[in-house]
Structures are given as C-alpha cells and as structure tokens.
Chains A and B, each alone.
Chain A
Amino acid sequence: AQKVTQAQTEISVVEKEDVTLDCVYETRDTTYYLFWYKQPPSGELVFLIRRNSFDEQNEISGRYSWNFQKSTSSFNFTITASQVVDSAVYFCALRRGAQKLVFGQGTRLTINP
C-alpha cells in the first residue's frame, strides 16, 4: 500500500523566516513519482514539483527547495525567506506510474507579517 505522511498539521512563522515542510512516504514500488502542491485559500491546486524515484538530486527554484532522500523515504520542502503570499495548505503526494495520486494530509502554513 502507498501512504504519505505529513506530520505537521499547521506551521506558523514570521515573515522572512525559513520553513521546512516534512513529507514521509511509504511504497513497495521501485518506480514512483513524488509531488508537492500548493492550495491557496481560493482552493485550486498549484503544481510545484514532480520528482521521480530515480532522481535524488535536490532541486532549487527561487526561494523553494526540495530534499529527496530515498534512504529515509522523505521528500521535504523548504521555503527560504518566507513571504505572506506563501500562506497556503501544502500537499505532498505519491504516484505509482500512471496510477492515482495519494495525498498526504496537508500542512497549513501561515506566514505572519
């Protein structure tokens, strides 16, 4: 069975702080994909990143960075110099091949001015 755990239900930080959102996954498959999505208050899901299981390179995109470690089955997401506009619910998700996405419970991130 596939499972995604986001242990942090809510995080609140002050603007400009760095924040890391944790994601731990379970799967027996050797080929899979990991995702992060952002869900602002308006509700739509905004795609942030996809990583396949064979690519453990960390990725940086502006203030966002992702750390994928197969040894610990983790795919953590860090926002540096956080901004109020980063406030949203963030979902980590796992997909095996063309199968369905399995979402974590989400982390509600609040950036306070």
Chain B
Amino acid sequence: GAVVSQHPSRVICKSGTSVKIECRSLDFQATTMFWYRQFPKQSLMLMATSNEGSKATYEQGVEKDKFLINHASLTLSTLTVTSAHPEDSSFYICSARVLFEREAFFGQGTRLTVV
C-alpha cells in the first residue's frame, strides 16, 4: 500500500507554545487528508478534512483557530496546535487519500504531551 509519513512521532512541549505536526504522502499525491485525535483508550475522532489548496473543513466542536490545518501541496498537510494546553495532550494521526480512490492510508501518529 501507499506510504504516509507523519513527523514527529513524539513531541513534548510547554504549555502556551505551538506545535506543528507534518503529514506527508511519500509515493502518491493526496488530494484529501484527514486529521484524527485519539485520547488514551478511546476511539479515533475526526478533527478535520483538508483538500489541497482549500480551507479545511472542521468537525463540530473542533476549534479551527486552535488547530490550524494547512494542505498547501498534494504531498503535505500540517496540523499546528496553537497555544497548547495539557488537555491537548493526545495521539494525533493523519490519513491521506487520492481522489476517487477507495482507500485512505494512515500515518504512524504523533503523541503530543503538553507539560
């Protein structure tokens, strides 16, 4: 299957700082990328869907000013957690899909800890 690379895999940051997470499709062009959040021992919840070159569509309850998503190219999407707080500590995982393809491929995930 196609490869999606997510970086960093782990990050610890201080409260109040911003953190950027990258999601890259390595061997295909991803027209759509999805960002999920997973709290410990819970399921994955979709945060937002981003299409290349357009604004991301956020799920209800997700603060778009806090979770900035940029999908500037067909191989890269970034999620920036702004002014991070301890409650933002979570596992963030992206997935990428090619237009009209059935399958979306997942990155390895990023474990964010805000101290």
Contacts and interface: CB of A to CB of B under 8 A. Distances in A.
Nearest to B59: A100
Contacts of A37: 106
Interface stretch (A18-26, A40-48, A61-69, A73-81): A40-48
Interface in B32-46: 32, 34, 41-46
Main secondary structure of the interface of B (DSSP, over half): strand
Nearest to A6: B43
Nearest to B97: A98
Contact of A91 (B1, B44, B103, B105): B44
B108 A91 contact: no
Given A50-B102, A104-B43, A44 B109 contact: yes
Interface string A26-47: 0000000100010000111101
Interface residues of B, number: 24
Nearest to B1: A47
B111 interface: yes
Interface residues of A, number: 17
A44 B49 CA distance: 19
Interface string B21-59: 000000000001010000001111110010000000000
A101 interface: yes
Interface of B: 1, 32, 34, 41-46, 49, 91, 93, 95, 97, 100, 102-109, 111
Given A101-B95, A103-B45, A104-B43, 6 more contacts: A37-B106, A44-B107, A45-B95, A91-B44, A103-B43, A106-B43
17 contacts: A37-B106, A42-B108, A43-B93, A43-B108, A43-B109, A45-B109, A47-B105, A50-B102, A91-B43, A98-B32, A100-B34, A100-B49, A101-B46, A101-B95, A103-B43, A105-B43, A106-B42
* Pairs of residues from A and B, 3 with the lowest C-beta to C-beta distance, nearest first: A45-B106, A43-B109, A44-B108
